Amino acid sequence: MLAHGFDAIERDGALIFLPRSGRRALPLDPAGFALSEEVEGGLVQSRASAAELAGRVRLRFVEADGDHAVVAEEAVLPDDRTHAVAETELALTLTRAEGRMVAERWLSEARVARETLRFALPPSQLALGAGDVVSIPAASGRTLARIDRVDLGAQQLVEAVRIEPDIYLPAEFADTPPSLRPSVAAAPVLPLFLDLPLMGGDEVPHAPHLAIAADPWPGAVAVYDAATDSDYVLNEVIAAATVTGVTEADLPAHPAGRIDRGAPLRIRLRGGTLQSVSDAALLGGANLLAIGDGSPGAWELLQFRDAALVAPGVWHIAHRLRGQLGTDGTAPALWPAGSRVVVLDGAAQQIALSPAARGQARHFRIGPARRGYDDPSYVHVVAAFDGNGLRPYRPAHLRAERAGPGLTLRWIRRTRIDGDGWDTPEVPLGEESEAYLLRLSQGGTLLREVTLGAPVWQISPAAEGLSGLIEVQVAQISARYGPGPFARLILSV
């Protein structure tokens, strides 16, 4: 009714709809007013102070012909000094021009309705009621007023507000075309699972990350999972795409802890950009990137300082830190051209995974969130995860020292948790207990395997009957994960 300017009135058990324009006003003669002690002089006119009224009206509504977003239109009096705002929300779909017209009419109505009239009518005028418009003589002609309240007694005490028919006439307002979001086809997405080590330290250690790439991006991607290819439940909704790409050149292995100053690595990104950072930012963890073959557990983490755009979508990254966060222990001798790259800037999210499900193959259906998981746009993936956030790092500095007829093997353990502090003599253990698995092998044959509680072991090759080239392998053991990557050393005994 506010939007379209009419009133609904009950008469004799029926609803009557009347426009507020007052075109069918009933003329009244003040001489026919009833006498009442509550109305001095037969007719009382009053006007509310302008300071009591809002000089600005704000109307919220659903925009028509667009994406049906809730928008607002305002009407303001040119001389408004009150700064008061009257605001309402209509559950209607309107164009912006229609919304502006309603707001302007509402503001004009409020200004005109400042003037109220009170008078009494005799019983012969019982046909008049709330919603009726009457016309009363005035010095400037006739005043139109809409009856808002009637108190029945010996007389009818009437309260009415002044109206102006012209404010209900249609007005022309410039319309703003609604904005429409482009329709995005429900195309399959590219999901990449990453079973990564702890990066920030606050991740769920056994849960994998999931990177999603799509062009065009469907808006949000739903991830459903199940133990078998049925009875899927929603696992996660991913709101943003991850920047991914492929390498266009080989990348040989490089020792961890030293800057890789080799030739720039050429990569082609699927959307997104890269940027160079300072040395301080690099050492603080910036520009982290995963390179791998696309399988969940085969990823090396590296950082880069320099990024240069050499062609549309093609980048050179140089001044690299390789094998970060313990991935030096599993990196191959060469990442060939065509390897996957994933920019780890926070867009890749961890999905939910029960600790009991670690190592078990699970079924995933991944696709646009606005479609059901049985839609053809969904990708079906079967994957298992080792929980590499629990994996110990490969021991460092494995060496052998001669001690008389025997050898003393020593190494230095590393930690996957809080290992960047410099205030303690040793890094935190990061495991329930300190334990190592040591293996001796020759020509691919396992000769001996022992479990140790300290990073040292003594051996007498002669007493063990060992000669020739012996391979020593040492790994730290996690109670939840088992042995991590092995450090290797070749001895001639």
How far is Cα of residue 287 from the mean position of the Cα atoms in its chain? Answer: 22
| CB distance 450 to 457 below 8 Å | yes
Per-residue pLDDT of the chain (493 residues; tens, 9 = 90+): 767 777 777 777 888 887 777 667 888 888 888 888 788 878 888 888 766 677 788 889 998 888 788 888 888 877 766 677 888 888 888 888 888 888 888 888 888 888 889 999 888 888 888 888 888 888 777 888 888 888 888 788 999 989 888 887 777 777 777 777 776 677 899 999 999 999 988 999 999 999 999 988 988 999 999 999 999 999 999 999 999 999 999 999 999 999 999 999 999 999 899 999 999 999 999 999 999 999 999 999 999 999 999 999 999 999 999 999 999 999 999 999 999 999 999 999 999 999 999 999 999 999 999 999 999 999 999 999 999 999 999 999 999 998 878 899 999 999 999 888 777 888 899 899 999 999 999 988 999 999 999 999 998 888 778 888 999 999 999 999 999 999 999 998 8
Q: Assign residue 67 a region (left: φ > 0; alpha: ψ between -120 and 50; beta: otherwise).
A: alpha
- The pair of structure tokens assigned to 21 is 């324009």
Q: Quick one: pLDDT at residue 38? A: 81
Q: What CA–CA distance (Å, rounded) separates 493 from 490? A: 10
The domains of the chain, with CATH numbers, are: 6-168 (no CATH), 190-386 (no CATH), 396-492 (2.60.40.10)
Q: Quick one: pLDDT at residue 126? A: 83
pTM tops 0.75:
no
How many residues comprise the chain?
493
User: For the stretch 426-453, what's the b/e string if a residue is b when 16 or more beta carbons lie within 10 angstroms of its beta carbon?
Assistant: ebeebbeeebbbbbbeeeeeeeeeeeee
Half-sphere exposure of 369 toward its Cβ, with a 13 Å CA cutoff? 14
